[in-house]
Amino acid sequence: MINSTIISSVEVIAFDADDTLFINEPYFEEAERKFCVLFQDYLSHQSLSNMLFKTQVDNLPLYGYGIKGYVLSMIEAAIKITNGTGSTKMMSKILEIGKELAQQPIVLLDGVEDTLAQLHGKYKLIVATKGDLKDQQRKLHDSGLGHYFHHIEVMSEKAELNYEKLFNRLDINSANFLMIGNSLKSDVLPVLNSGGWAIHVPFHTTWEHERIDHEIVHNNFRSCKKISDILPLLL
C-alpha cells in the first residue's frame, strides 16, 4: 500500500540528477551495446556485459562513478577479453564511445521543468548527485535547470555519512530534508536511515549496481510514478 499522506516540515528538497531530472542510464546502455558489438567475435554479448560489469564494480573503490572510470574499465575489460591480442584500433573505438558518452544531449524527463518551477521559491531546491564532478557540472549546465537550484552537491558516494555532512553544510536537520530520486539504494535508504524524507520516482531502467530486492515501508517514505506526482504531497 502506498503512503500518500502529505509531507510536513520539509525545507530543503534535493533532487538526484541522472534518470531523475534527465536521461542517463540509456546512454550507458547504448555505450555498452557498442562495446559488445566491438568484441562480439570473442564472447557472447551476455558474457561481455558480465565482464564489463565485474571490471567496473571492482574498480569503483579506485575510480568512483562517472564516464571516465567507465571508459577505463572498458579498456581493462577489453584487454582481458582479447587476452592481450586486441588491436589498438579497438582501444581507439572505446575512447570514441567514451567521448560520445561525455557529449550526449541532455534530455529532460517529462514534467521536470514544470515541477521545479512550481516548487521554486517555496522550498530551497538543491541537486544531490553522485559521480564525476566534470560530467555532472556539464550536464546540469546543459540542462538549463541551474537557476532553479541554490546548490549543486556532487557526492563521491551517496552514503549516510555523506548525507549527514550535507545536512551540516546546509545547516539543517535531517527532518527538514527531502530527497527525490530514482535509486532506492542511493536516494532513498540512506536518507531514511539518517532521519530525512525520501520520495522514489522510478525510471524505466536501473543500473544493476543500484538495484535492491526488498520493499521499503517507512513513515518518511513515499513513491510516485512520475515527478509531477510529488507536487500534491508538497504544495
Q: Which residues bind a copy of itself (CB under 8 A)?
A: 62-64, 66, 68-69, 71-72, 75-76, 78-79, 82, 84-89, 91-92, 95, 98-99, 102-103, 132-134, 137, 151, 154, 156, 169
Length of the chain counted residue by residue: 235
Look at the block and give the residue holding cell 527532518.
175
Say if residues 188 and 180 touch (Cβ distance below 8 Å).
no
CB of 206 to a copy of itself, least distance (A): 22
The Cα-based distances of 1 to 106, 154, 221, 222 in angstroms read: 34, 33, 12, 10
CB of 21 to a copy of itself, least distance (A): 19
Question: Which three three-digit cell numbers place residue 108?
Answer: 529532460
Nearer to a copy of itself by Cβ, of 77 and 199: the residue is: 77
Nearer to a copy of itself by Cβ, of 72 and 109: the residue is: 72
Nearer to a copy of itself by Cβ, of 81 and 224: the residue is: 81
CB of 209 to a copy of itself, least distance (A): 16
Say if residues 160 and 194 touch (Cβ distance below 8 Å).
yes
Phi and psi at 82, nearest 5°, equal -90, 5
CB of 133 to a copy of itself, least distance (A): 4
Nearer to a copy of itself by Cβ, of 124 and 200: the residue is: 124
CA proximity to 20, closest of 185, 161, 227: 227
Expressed in angstroms, the distance from the first to the final Cα of the chain is 22
CB of 171 to a copy of itself, least distance (A): 10
Nearer to a copy of itself by Cβ, of 99 and 218: the residue is: 99
Q: Give the span between the Cα atoms of 35 and 137, in whole angstroms.
A: 26
